[in-house]
Chains A and B, each alone.
Chain A
Amino acid sequence: MNGERALRRVGDLAGLPTSAQGPRNLVWWGNISFMAIEGTGFALAIGACLYLLGQSPHWPPPGDSLPGLGWSGAFTLALVLSELPNLWLIRQVRAKSIARVRLGMLVMTLIGIALIGLRWFELQHLNVGWDHDAYGSTVWMLMVLHTSHVVTELVETAVLTVWLYTHEVGDDQLGDVEDDADYWTFVILAWVPIYLLVYWVPRWL
């Protein structure tokens, strides 16, 4: 070393690979950590919603109408089903099949655009303004939080797709695609409790 200590060589690392997949990869841990941060954010937003719901005698308060089930149902169905091509994509990443990974990412981008469209219509049918009362604010908070994740994920997927189609793909980029796909699963999982809380809990109460 550069200090004053004598060194004794006990091994050589030159033979190690220069990339790795899944949890062996350093970047995977960064991705998981950010999911933990955002997952905590979702959990707390849900907690805040439950708190307000518990404090008020009626949820929604008398006079507010319930959010529509049509577009939201379509969005939810589409989002959940998008996990199928996503799983296929992850398999192609593991198989390092570059042509299929490119195709898969293109498909996911298109699905993402369609989801944003559905979400747009869904937002038109929440039937309450965010400034109307605390119920309205809460519903909008949950929707904005999730929508921002869908948009971020779409942008990331689209940019990565463009890159994949225009560049030579290496192992690191396959890792990026896998992280992107994991994140997609996260966006789906985060939606389930929010969907129930926004659309069904007020009906069950």
Chain B
Amino acid sequence: MSPDERERLHAVWADRPGLLGFLGTVDHKRIAARYIVTVVGLLFLSGMLAIDMRLQLSQPDMRRMGPQQYNEAFALHGSTMLFLISVPVMEAMALWLVPLMLGARNMAFPRLAAFSYWLYLGGVLMLWLPHALGITPDLGWFEYPPLSGPAYSPGHRADIWAQMITFTEVAALAASVNVVATILKMRPPGMTLARMPFFLWAMLVASLMTIFALPAIMLATSMLIADRLVSTQFFAPAAGGDVLLFQHMFWFFGHPEVYIIFVPAVGFVSSIVETFSRRTLFGHVPMVLSILAIGVLAFGLWVHHMFAVGLPRLGNDFYTAASMAIALPAGLQMFCWIATMWSGRPRFATPLLWVIGFIATFVIGGLSGVMTASAPLDLQLTDTYFVVAHLHYVLIGGALFPLFGAFCYWYPKATGRMMSERWGVVAFILIVGGFNLGFFPMHVLGLEGMPRRIYTYGPDMGWGTLNLVATIGSAIAMLGGIVLTGNALISLWRGKPAGADPWGAPTLEWAARSPPPQHNFEEVPVVTSIAPLWRHGDLPVMTGLATDRREVLVTSVIDAVPQYRHHSVGPSLWPFVAALATSGMFVASIFTPWAVVWGAIPIGVALVLWFWPRRPRSATGPLARR
């Protein structure tokens, strides 16, 4: 590429300066970075809530918080952690990584990516602004009717929770559609499905699961809102409604949701293990088959969250067997990762440490999941601290530890700087050690009869000591979180400059500059193996993608044969405006159902302008300008 062309390419992909450039950008890396910064901020906020709860529970009969404050704390903590942190952060990682790993210049639908962030931000504000005003949802991360219905929860707390979900789920769906289309249609020449890195498989499966799981919760919360605002009777037993319908719909979403969080983490772990073991992933095919199996099985297990509601026992046996079956693909994955390390030449940098912490911690959570999967045993375990322990082991050990590893792994690519290894190890020890110290005792507390979601307990219950230990451990883990974030911030300007490929990694993102320019790649890389950067001294590329307009290469779904050069849309304010209009409609709908009708008009206008194709006026036809 001549310097001239390079100049032009830069100019074509550059964002406008100033506020308009900020609001209108469609650069997938900028959008993903916004997501991640928002998530880290929220991790702190909802971590503070957790520490608040832990202090309240550290001793029997504490009076730090009343029941209302405590109920708000766990509701906000759980809802934020799942809807505003865990799911979005995985999408953010996909938005950032997928085009880079594909050697592509942007996502398939750049404006949709921008829209999804703005809407997500709307969801964040929807939950946290009212919290600042003292209107906080107070019924947990799932709000079962009739408690959340009009009779027992007057006011707007439950409405806020339900609409926050609508926001984030629309955002998540938009992001998933984008990821699916990008992975299927924008792979570089030669990257057949068989040569697709495992990470992309994980992202593909997670996004497809999102597409089929999220409509369930949107429907469930819409029905709840309708019951609350326009007096429908879906969940009113007196008028033929059924409260269990909500639980079925919630968990039809809720169970796949936890794998939507976990499957991308499996992708992070695989990438890290591969790079730091300096060999390709052992058992690539079994690994792919196992996440496909998890993706399918996940839709048949939701009843294991409802073993105590009194469904027919024969059905319970079925759901027990199906839930336990997940241990097979999960167990095989564990084997493949460890086998990769076994037969490779591992280098124990922080990302790989996080993987080891992940395996040692997640398996405990997985095994406690197998215990709760047993219907009769779950009657003792459900709704106790045993489940609280399980869910933190799998969410923190199984999803956040890999995320932290991924963060350390791709940090040099994103910023051009290395993070401090020494502080990385300190953070690792504090978080993994503190976490296990804090959460292992909760298993015992649950077995000793401590129910979840209680704001206090009496001294005669004998739960005081273990709760104190749990609080101390949590505080240590939180300290580790601060060290990790501090390390990331300080390394931004103190870190050693990282080259394009500091770890000697196999996948295409490491062929781009660190940090990558806005268009990521100048030429289109050609892939001949599953580890393209390990195969060749020089990288085969194809030239010919335009430099005077935004263009991306579209290839065939299975074999990645080039099909056409797609015009990729540029920056636009309309996704922002559309998200603003949608937010206005969602918020207003809490106060009047008519908002759904009137609010549709500005949304429609924004969408029309967003998609309005810019072409010359017609010179033919009845309305031609002659």
Q: Which residues of A contact B513 (CB under 8 A)?
A: 1-3
A167 smallest CB distance to B (angstroms): 5
Q: Indicate if A196 sits at the interface (CB-CB under 8 A).
A: no
Q: How large is the interface on B (under 10, 10 to 19, 20 to 34, 35 or more residues)?
A: 35 or more
Q: Indicate if B571 sits at the interface (CB-CB under 8 A).
A: no
Q: Are A172 and B567 within 8 A (Cβ)?
A: yes
Among B214, B567, B621, which residue has its beta carbon within 8 angstroms of that of A18?
B567
Q: Are B215 and A37 within 8 A (Cβ)?
A: yes
What is the CA–CA distance of A15 and B545 in the complex, to the nearest angstrom?
Answer: 10
Q: Are B541 and A9 within 8 A (Cβ)?
A: yes
Q: What mask results when residues 543 to 569 of chain B are scored 1 for a CB within 8 Å of chain A, else 0?
A: 111000001011011000011111100
What is the CA–CA distance of A67 and B585 in the complex, to the nearest angstrom?
Answer: 31
Q: Indicate if A102 sits at the interface (CB-CB under 8 A).
A: yes
* Chain A contacts with B in 172-204, Cβ cutoff 8 A: 172-173, 176
Q: What mask results when residues 116 to 153 of chain A are scored 1 for a CB within 8 Å of chain B, else 0?
A: 00000000000000111111111011000000000000
Q: Indicate if B517 sits at the interface (CB-CB under 8 A).
A: yes
What is the CA–CA distance of A12 and B526 in the complex, to the nearest angstrom?
Answer: 11
B568 smallest CB distance to A (angstroms): 9
Q: Are A26 and B108 within 8 A (Cβ)?
A: yes
Q: In the complex, what residue of chain B is closest to A140 when comparing beta carbons?
A: B232
Q: Are A48 and B245 within 8 A (Cβ)?
A: yes
What is the CA–CA distance of A166 and B624 in the complex, to the nearest angstrom?
Answer: 6
Q: In the complex, what residue of chain A is closest to B212 when comparing beta carbons?
A: A40
Given A51-B245, A134-B241, A167 contacting B189 (CB threshold 8 A): no
Q: What mask results when residues 35 to 59 of chain A are scored 1 for a CB within 8 Å of chain B, else 0?
A: 0111011001100100110011000
- B53-61, B191-199, B324-332, B532-540: which one contacts chain A? B532-540
What is the CA–CA distance of A40 and B112 in the complex, to the nearest angstrom?
Answer: 21
Q: In the complex, what residue of chain A is closest to B554 when comparing beta carbons?
A: A26
Q: Indicate if A77 sits at the interface (CB-CB under 8 A).
A: no
Q: Are A133 and B233 within 8 A (Cβ)?
A: yes
Q: Which residues of A contact B615 (CB under 8 A)?
A: 167-170, 173
Q: How large is the interface on A (under 10, 10 to 19, 20 to 34, 35 or more residues)?
A: 35 or more
Q: Indicate if B30 sits at the interface (CB-CB under 8 A).
A: no
Among B180, B242, B499, B521, which residue has its beta carbon within 8 angstroms of that of A33?
B180
Q: Which residues of B contact A99 (CB under 8 A)?
A: 620-621
Q: Which residues of B contact A56 (CB under 8 A)?
A: 240
Q: Are B108 and A2 within 8 A (Cβ)?
A: no
A15 smallest CB distance to B (angstroms): 7
Q: Indicate if A84 sits at the interface (CB-CB under 8 A).
A: no
A59 smallest CB distance to B (angstroms): 9
- B44-52, B223-231, B312-320: which one contacts chain A? B223-231
Q: Which residues of A contact B551 (CB under 8 A)?
A: 18
Q: In the complex, what residue of chain B is closest to A48 when comparing beta carbons?
A: B245
Number of A-B contacts (CB under 8 A): 231
What is the CA–CA distance of A55 and B173 in the complex, to the nearest angstrom?
Answer: 32
Q: Are B500 and A26 within 8 A (Cβ)?
A: no
Q: Are B541 and A10 within 8 A (Cβ)?
A: yes
Q: Indicate if A81 sits at the interface (CB-CB under 8 A).
A: no
Among B176, B216, B219, B617, which residue has its beta carbon within 8 angstroms of that of A166?
B617
Q: Are B236 and A1 within 8 A (Cβ)?
A: no
Q: What mask results when residues 1 to 17 of chain A are scored 1 for a CB within 8 Å of chain B, else 0?
A: 11111111111111111
Q: Which residues of A contact B82 (CB under 8 A)?
A: none
Q: Are A134 and B234 within 8 A (Cβ)?
A: yes
Q: In the complex, what residue of chain B is closest to A15 when comparing beta carbons?
A: B544
B354 smallest CB distance to A (angstroms): 25
Among A12, A131, A176, which residue has its beta carbon within 8 angstroms of that of B542?
A12
Q: Indicate if B143 sits at the interface (CB-CB under 8 A).
A: no
Q: Which residues of B contact A38 (CB under 8 A)?
A: 215
Q: Which residues of B contact A176 (CB under 8 A)?
A: 613
A88 smallest CB distance to B (angstroms): 19
What is the CA–CA distance of A132 and B238 in the complex, to the nearest angstrom?
Answer: 11
Q: Are A4 and B500 within 8 A (Cβ)?
A: yes
Q: Are B216 and A44 within 8 A (Cβ)?
A: yes
A129 smallest CB distance to B (angstroms): 9
Among B240, B516, B533, which residue has its beta carbon within 8 angstroms of that of A134?
B240
* Chain B contacts with A in 399-448, Cβ cutoff 8 A: none
Q: In the complex, what residue of chain B is closest to A106 when comparing beta carbons?
A: B622
Q: Are A17 and B622 within 8 A (Cβ)?
A: no
Q: In the complex, what residue of chain A is closest to B222 when comparing beta carbons?
A: A141
Given A3-B513, A16-B563, A9 contacting B215 (CB threshold 8 A): no
Given A19-B564, A155-B604, A166-B617, A10 contacting B523 (CB threshold 8 A): no
Q: Indicate if B608 sits at the interface (CB-CB under 8 A).
A: yes
Q: Are B233 and A48 within 8 A (Cβ)?
A: no
Q: Indicate if B218 sits at the interface (CB-CB under 8 A).
A: yes
What is the CA–CA distance of A137 and B231 in the complex, to the nearest angstrom?
Answer: 9
Q: Are B219 and A173 within 8 A (Cβ)?
A: no
Q: In the complex, what residue of chain A is closest to B239 when comparing beta carbons?
A: A133
Q: In the complex, what residue of chain B is closest to A3 when comparing beta carbons?
A: B500
What is the CA–CA distance of A34 and B523 in the complex, to the nearest angstrom?
Answer: 31
* Chain B contacts with A in 92-137, Cβ cutoff 8 A: 108-109, 112
Q: Which residues of B contact A78 (CB under 8 A)?
A: none
Q: Indicate if A61 sits at the interface (CB-CB under 8 A).
A: yes
Q: Are A137 and B234 within 8 A (Cβ)?
A: yes
Q: Indicate if A87 sits at the interface (CB-CB under 8 A).
A: no
Q: Indicate if A159 sits at the interface (CB-CB under 8 A).
A: yes
Q: Indicate if A165 sits at the interface (CB-CB under 8 A).
A: yes
Q: In the complex, what residue of chain B is closest to A53 when comparing beta carbons?
A: B240
A52 smallest CB distance to B (angstroms): 6
Q: In the complex, what residue of chain A is closest to B509 when comparing beta carbons?
A: A3
Q: Are A11 and B565 within 8 A (Cβ)?
A: no
Q: Which residues of A contact B223 (CB under 8 A)?
A: 48, 137, 141
Q: Indicate if B77 sits at the interface (CB-CB under 8 A).
A: no
What is the CA–CA distance of A61 and B525 in the complex, to the nearest angstrom?
Answer: 64
What is the CA–CA distance of A11 and B265 in the complex, to the nearest angstrom?
Answer: 36
What is the CA–CA distance of A30 and B226 in the complex, to the nearest angstrom?
Answer: 30
Q: Are B613 and A131 within 8 A (Cβ)?
A: no
Q: In the complex, what residue of chain A is closest to B189 when comparing beta carbons?
A: A11
Among A14, A29, A37, which residue has its beta carbon within 8 angstroms of that of B173?
A37
Q: Which residues of A contact B623 (CB under 8 A)?
A: 165-166
Given A11-B189, A37-B215, A136-B233, A16 contacting B562 (CB threshold 8 A): yes
A57 smallest CB distance to B (angstroms): 10
Q: Are A3 and B563 within 8 A (Cβ)?
A: no
Given A7-B541, A26-B186, A44 contacting B565 (CB threshold 8 A): no
Q: Indicate if A98 sits at the interface (CB-CB under 8 A).
A: yes
Q: Indicate if B138 sits at the interface (CB-CB under 8 A).
A: no
Task: Given contact pairs A26-B554, A30-B178, A36-B212, enumerate 10 new A-B contacts (beta carbons under 8 Å).
Answer: A2-B522, A3-B513, A16-B564, A17-B564, A24-B563, A26-B108, A37-B173, A102-B621, A133-B240, A137-B234
Q: What residues make up the interface of B, taking CB atoms closer than 8 Å to A?
A: 108-109, 112, 173, 176-178, 180-181, 184-186, 189, 211-212, 214-216, 218-219, 223, 226-227, 230-234, 236, 239-242, 245, 248-249, 252, 499-501, 510-513, 516-517, 521-526, 533, 536-545, 551, 553-554, 556-557, 562-567, 604, 608, 612-613, 615-623
The 4 closest A-B pairs by CB, nearest first: A3-B500, A14-B544, A13-B544, A137-B232
